Amino acid sequence: MSELVILKFGGSAITRKKEGVREVRKDVLDRLCWELAEAKKERGFGVVVVHGAGPFGHVPASDYGLSEGLKSERQVVGFSLTHQSMEELNAIGVDSLIRHGLNAVAYQPSALGILRKGRLSYLPTKVLIKLLGIDMVPVAYGDVLIDEVTGINILSGDHLVPYLARELHADRVILLTDVGGVFDLDPEDSKDAVLVKEITPGNIDLVCKVSASKGTDVTGGMRRKLDELIGLTQSGIESEIVSALEPGILKRALLGERGLGTLIRG
């Protein structure tokens, strides 16, 4: 197979997560899909897209206590509603990818996977390999899943990305967020905030004075993301967090440029 990229469209990038508004940033989403299509035309890599939830997932998941373990029938209602809301967001993403000429197809984690205390214990990937083999672009997402210990739980895209990267032996992992990488201080609160160019097991604790995610987030925000990505370096796979909001960055990253944001390496 050609080079394989796992690409995450962060919820903060494609939705109005910070404002807590359940809306897609259509302009950002469409531009990202265009940049992906352009880069794929030029370089011909395989790609699995994973997208986050923003208010489409985190708000109902929080309202219904979906990460607290299954204790009530109300949470089962919340499972259904939260998943349905994520499907809506997924359909908008798939639609944009198709409009930009990519053979996108939804890949529904809740129909396929099982968690164990919030971590995937089972998710088949054979179909993904087959889809990639005929140049399809599978589009997976953070979702609500059966959990064999807690009953139900949230699968974060930030956990799904390294899982897929390992299982599919990805060459590159790129995560798009609403800031240009990881900063030593919150860039919105401090004009002295400096971009951290590289995160390794040696500096992660220092770096993790990093800002918590803005807006409702039931899956742990930036710290969780970094822990997952540091874990991935043990499989020899580096990843990069780059800006979704700065036009051209995604295309440049996909065409092979490094150092455009924060690199996470072992």
**Could you give the strand order of the β-sheet that contains 198-199, starting from the edge strand earlier in sequence?**
104-106, 137-141, 46-51, 4-9, 172-177, 239-243, 262-264, 198-199
Dist CA 142 CA 14 (whole Å): 13
Query: How far is the C-alpha of 152 from the C-alpha of 113, rounded, in Å?
Result: 11
Nearest to 213 by CA among 259, 156, 145: 156
CB of 231 to ligand IP8, least distance (A): 16
Q: What's the closest the beta carbon of residue 64 comes to ligand IP8, in angstroms? A: 10
State the nearest-atom distance from the C-beta of 176 to ligand IP8, in Å: 12
CB of 219 or CB of 262, closer to ligand IP8? 219
Give the residue with the Cβ less far from ligand IP8, 52 or 206.
Answer: 52
* CB nearer to ligand IP8: pick between 158 and 240: 158
CB closest to ligand IP8, residue no: 142
State in angstroms the smallest separation of the CB of 264 from ligand IP8.
16
DSSP-derived 3-state class of residue 82: helix
Where along the sequence are the contacts to ligand IP8 (CB under 6 A)? Answer: 11, 52-53, 57-58, 61, 82, 86, 142-144, 154, 156-158, 218-219
Q: Which pair of tokens denotes residue 91?
A: 């359909």
What whole-number distance in Å separates Cα of residue 175 and Cα of residue 69? 29
DSSP reduced 3-state for 183:
strand
By C-beta, is 157 or 181 nearer to ligand IP8?
157
Q: Which is nearer to ligand IP8, 115 or 260 (CB)?
A: 115
Least distance between ligand IP8 and beta carbon 159 (Å): 8
- C-alpha torsion angle, residues 224, 226, 232, 237 (rounded to 10): 150
| Shortest reach from residue 27's CB to ligand IP8, in Å | 20
The residue among 167 and 184 lying less far from ligand IP8, judged by its C-beta, is 167
Q: Which residues contact 222 (CB under 8 A, 6 or more apart)?
A: 182, 208, 210, 211, 212, 213
